[in-house]
Amino acid sequence: MTDPQDLPDAWAHATATIDDGATMGPGTKVWHYSHISSGARIGARCVFGQNTYVAPGVEIGDGVKVQNNVSLYTGVIVEDDVFLGPSCVLTNVVNPRSHVERKDEFRTTRLRRGATIGANATVVCGVELGTFSLVGAGAVVTRDVPAYAQVIGTPARIVGWRCHCGEKLAREIAGGLALTCDACGATYAADDATTLRRTGPDATRD
């Protein structure tokens, strides 16, 4: 086990457990009673709140914020700038049984850059949350969420579209629709009713 105070570029509270073989980038912070497992790969400038867990093999990009009481199990891939709200849940087996070993059946769940998961939401394994998508608090996600889409409910359904800055863009979209964010001025184009993409000079950032 790595001494939390012996991290050259990252920081961990004295009560945190950092297993040998875990890697964390510069500026990453791990708070009280959290556990980072061997083989977990974590980028720079991430924050892990109290009582968080990262399993072996989990990949986490830069600038990720993991709030209190969140567990990231094997099979989860988190890209840059993702936000995981308090007590949200991500599973890794679709048909768990206590008496059946299914470690070779873990499904990959990918959280694309800038995605947000609200407090107490559940993401069932094997889905992808698109770039800068937003999952409302308490939602249950059972299928892929398109980029920039806002989903709520059980099961989660699209109820609107959000800018990369988080502000509302539209309730519905359709092919050929052009949108501009009133808050930050970012521009978007809709290819169809479920595909929104950023346009303009900063589009490559998304």
pLDDT in tens, 1-36: 666 555 668 999 999 999 999 999 999 999 999 999
- The rounded distance, in Å, linking the Cα atoms of 91 and 156 is 16
What would the two tokens of residue 168 be?
Answer: 């509302």
pLDDT at 135: 98
Separation CA 94–CA 136 (nearest Å): 22
pLDDT at residue 203, rounded to an integer: 79
Q: Does domain 11-172 have CATH number 2.40.30.10?
A: no
pTM score > 0.85 for this model?
yes
Would you call 24 helix, strand, or coil by DSSP? strand
Q: What pLDDT score does 6 carry?
A: 59
- What pLDDT was estimated at residue 33? 98
Q: Where are the domains of the chain?
A: 11-172
Ranges of the chain whose pLDDT falls below 70: 1-8, 205
Biggest alpha carbon–alpha carbon distance for the chain: 55
